[in-house]
């Protein structure tokens, strides 16, 4: 919604917004663009909305029936729409949309793809659920037909329970992976597969669908029907294998994912050397290269662009280093993402200590859907600090039991910072994972480490 606000402002629309607990980097972006952000959801915020002045309420999917401002909007017959629908009708309907979908990696892959198009001189528009360091913005209109959008399967609004991505009408679609998530709105994995099938029904025959060839769940969706050319990718190292390889693949991967060769249909396309880590990011790179090629970017240009990709805020972002203790911020909120992130860091730093700090904050985490796989996703860490947020609907103690003596549970951020500061030593890497602001723990920890130093 913050990105949509930025696009509306760039389009010449007068924009204000209401939200709770807004934190950087989005709060800073909105403020810097002169968008008035009002705290809380108050009826007074809607006083200027009317049909007469051509104004409109854009309702985010966090708002539900029974919320005072929603009931006021309906009772007063104020004009309203959803974010995805506004985006399509005002920005996307005449554009070549490149959509990035999947359970994990959407933000990173969309950022990589937008950068490849930018590097090639195509000046794309984009709407991304993070802030790519190459752009410093999460959204812009762009100056070409191309528009990259992070395509989420979460529902659209209280009045439209379809997935957001069905509104985007992409020409080029990436499906990175597919696992069970968003347990607050999807009853099971099959319900999510149905939404992805609906999305595939909308991709034109002249378009392209790029999928992870290692994901059976995606193949299940494709088997339901696909009327568009398909290209698959795999980040499994093909070194030393003599076989006919179709689609996008890799050889000679550095264990930390920072270097690898790219192949298409078995033919070498080039060598990637870039700052990102982990096999999951190798997959993200292949998907972005394939999608950019569909938009006309030569593979060599795409590979060259990767070497200058700077990453995304809150995706393994190094927030600071004090006394040779590194503190990272990562958005990981699903066991698979947690596991791949830690493994990528482990491959990069070797035997040095990884201290994992996790806030299980997402709706699915709060419901306990992933409680059986959470402990194993943290195995590669040397020490684990779990923070128990208010409203957690399950007993987190059995995760501690599964992690044996290397884990501890905390419910006060200041106490957690003190403990981390006491236990961290020179050479350690502290990986903080949450899909929220986590009470500003990153800066608090860095300040505490400075005082310790």
pLDDT tens-digit profile of 333-387? Answer: 678 888 888 988 998 899 999 999 988 876 666 666 667 778 889 999 999 998 8
pLDDT value, residue 187: 82
Are domains 2-81 and 317-452 of this chain identical in fold?
A: no
Dihedral (Cα; 123, 329, 10, 112), 10-degree rounding: 20
Alpha carbons 383 and 380: distance in angstroms, whole number: 9
Please give the average per-residue pLDDT across 296-300, as a whole number.
Answer: 97
Q: Are 140 and 10 in contact (CB under 8 A)?
A: yes
Helix or strand holding residue 224 (H, E): none
- Which residues are 357's β-sheet partners? 385, 432
Domain 85-306, architecture per CATH: 3-Layer(aba) Sandwich (3.40)
- Which residues are 81's β-sheet partners? 58
pLDDT confidence bin for 168, thresholds 50/70/90: very high
pLDDT confidence bin for 29, thresholds 50/70/90: confident
Alpha carbons 73 and 434: distance in angstroms, whole number: 33
Which regions of 155-277 does DSSP assign to beta strands (E)? 155-157, 160-163, 172-175, 208-212, 230-237, 248-251, 259-264, 267-273
pLDDT value, residue 221: 97
- Which residues are 50's β-sheet partners? none
Is the model's pLDDT at 393 over the cut of 70?
Answer: no
Is the model's pLDDT at 112 over the cut of 80?
Answer: yes
Residue 110's φ and ψ, nearest 5 degrees, are: -65, -40
Please give the average per-residue pLDDT across 105-126, as a whole number.
Answer: 97
Is the model's pLDDT at 288 over the cut of 90?
Answer: yes
pLDDT value, residue 437: 80
CATH code of 2-81, in short, is 3.40.50.720
pLDDT value, residue 451: 86
| Nearest CA-CA partner of 290 in 255, 265, 310, 254 | 265
pLDDT value, residue 448: 93
pLDDT value, residue 285: 97
Of 225 and 314, which is predicted with more confidence?
Answer: 225
For the chain, give every domain's residue range.
2-81, 85-306, 317-452
pLDDT over 70 percentage in the chain = 96
pLDDT value, residue 281: 93
The 10s digit of each residue's pLDDT in 302-312 is 999 999 999 88
CATH topology of domain 317-452: 3.90.190
pLDDT value, residue 166: 96
The 10s digit of each residue's pLDDT in 226-247 is 999 999 999 999 887 756 788 9
For residue 289, give the 3-state DSSP assignment: helix
Average model confidence (pLDDT) for the chain?
91
């Amino acid at each position: 919604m913050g990105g949509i606000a930025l696009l509306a402002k760039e389009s010449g629309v007068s924009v204000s917004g209401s939200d709770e607990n807004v934190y950087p980097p989005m709060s800073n972006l909105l403020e810097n663009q002169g968008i008035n952000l009002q705290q809380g959801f108050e009826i007074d915020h809607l006083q200027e909305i009317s049909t007469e002045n051509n104004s409109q309420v854009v309702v985010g999917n966090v708002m539900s029936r029974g919320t005072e401002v929603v009931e006021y909007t309906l009772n007063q017959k104020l004009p309203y729409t959803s974010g995805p629908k506004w985006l399509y009708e005002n920005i996307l309907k005449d554009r070549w949309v490149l959509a990035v979908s999947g359970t994990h990696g959407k933000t990173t892959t969309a950022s990589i793809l937008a950068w490849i198009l930018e590097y090639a001189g195509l000046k794309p528009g984009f709407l991304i659920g993070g802030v790519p360091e190459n752009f410093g913005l999460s959204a812009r209109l762009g100056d070409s037909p191309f528009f990259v959008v992070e395509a989420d399967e979460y529902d659209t609004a209280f009045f439209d329970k379809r997935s957001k991505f069905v509104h985007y009408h992409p020409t080029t679609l990436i499906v990175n992976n597919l696992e069970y998530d968003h347990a607050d709105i999807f009853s099971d994995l099959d319900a999510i597969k149905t939404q992805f099938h609906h999305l595939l029904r909308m991709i034109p025959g002249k378009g392209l669908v790029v999928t992870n060839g290692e994901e059976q769940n995606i193949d299940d969706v494709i088997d339901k029907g696909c009327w568009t050319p398909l290209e698959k990718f795999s980040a499994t190292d093909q070194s030393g294998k003599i076989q006919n390889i179709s689609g996008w693949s890799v050889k000679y991967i550095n264990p930390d994912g920072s270097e690898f060769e790219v192949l298409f249909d078995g033919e070498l396309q080039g060598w990637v050397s870039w700052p990102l880590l982990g096999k999951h990011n190798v997959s993200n790179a292949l998907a972005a290269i394939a999608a950019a090629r569909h938009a006309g970017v030569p593979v060599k240009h795409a590979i060259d662009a990767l070497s200058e990709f700077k990453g995304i805020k809150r995706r393994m972002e190094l927030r600071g280093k004090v006394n040779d203790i590194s503190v990272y911020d990562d958005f990981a909120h699903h066991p698979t993402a947690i596991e791949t992130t830690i493994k990528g860091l482990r491959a990069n730093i070797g035997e040095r200590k990884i201290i994992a700090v996790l806030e299980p904050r997402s709706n699915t985490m709060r419901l306990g859907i992933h409680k059986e796989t959470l402990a194993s996703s943290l195995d590669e860490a040397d020490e684990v600090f779990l923070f128990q947020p208010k409203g957690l609907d399950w007993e987190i103690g059995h995760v501690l039991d599964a992690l044996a003596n290397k884990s501890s549970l905390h419910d006060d951020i200041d106490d957690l910072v003190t403990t981390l500061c006491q236990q961290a030593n020179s050479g350690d890497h502290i990986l903080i994972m949450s899909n929220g602001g986590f009470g500003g723990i990153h800066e608090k920890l860095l300040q505490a480490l400075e005082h310790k130093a």
